[in-house]
Amino acid sequence: MTIRVALVDDDALVRAGLRMILGGDPALEIVGEASDGRAALDLISSEVPDVVLMDIRMPRMDGLAATRALQERGDRARVIVLTTFDTDDMVFTALRHGAAGFLLKDTPPAQLVAAVHRVANGEPMLSPSVTAQLIASVVAAPDDRRQRARELLGRLTDRETEVAIAIERGLSNAEIAAELFMGVATVKTHVGHLFTKLDAANRVQIARCIHDAGLA
């Protein structure tokens, strides 16, 4: 199946580089480009991409505002925020606004292509440095947060706990399936249960729960 991709960045050279990188994969089709968030909304409406690579700092409307607008109007396009900035505030804001991924612009080409495939398949994707930064932000969790995390984990089955720990390690669904000897569909079912039982909105929050409970 062909994955339709839109590129949103105010730097034409960056867009050209992304087009070159992604164009080497026959399963990816670049359906359009935009140089700001407002133009991106029009592009996404007309071309209906599966995945959008979205810069943050752009004129007229930045990438975070555009991502939020896409979420509010119910677009099915999944957004990967691609930026040179990785501050906690930007990461949290992007995730709250519905971003499915957060990658730095120095992400190696092969990993960028893989990220587009993973996000198109419904899996979130964070740069390893971003994941490490989010985990580091909750180092030395207070006792009340640790107790809360352990209470939440007490709701899980042993298998669900294993999947949660694997998520904290940054493994994809396919990697978890291979390591724990189960089908990818079964992993997805367990992940769905984790979202519900841990009151988590994304995989980062699952990882935080594992870290807060001292199981990392």
Full-model pTM: 0.64
pLDDT score at 39: 96
CA angle 107, 27, 52 (to 5 degrees): 55
Q: pLDDT means per 10 residues in the chain (216 residues)? A: 95 94 94 96 96 93 91 91 73 81 88 93 78 56 76 93 89 90 94 91 83 80
- 49 contact partners, CB below 8 Å, separation of at least 6: 4, 5, 6, 31, 32, 77
Q: Which pLDDT belongs to residue 98?
A: 84
What's the CATH number of domain 140-212, 1.10.10.10, 3.40.50.1860, 1.10.10.60, 3.40.50.300?
1.10.10.10
Q: What is the pLDDT of residue 136?
A: 58
Contact 191, 156 (CB under 8 A): no
Q: Where are the domains of the chain?
A: 3-134, 140-212
Q: What is the pLDDT of residue 154?
A: 92
Q: Which amino acid, 23? A: G
Domain 3-134, CATH? 3.40.50.2300
pLDDT value of residue 47: 96
Query: Which helix (H) or strand (E) element contains residue 56?
Result: none
Burial 168-187 (b: 16+ CB within 10 A, else e): beebbbeebbeeeebeeeeb
**Pairwise CA distance, residues 113 & 127, whole Å:** 13
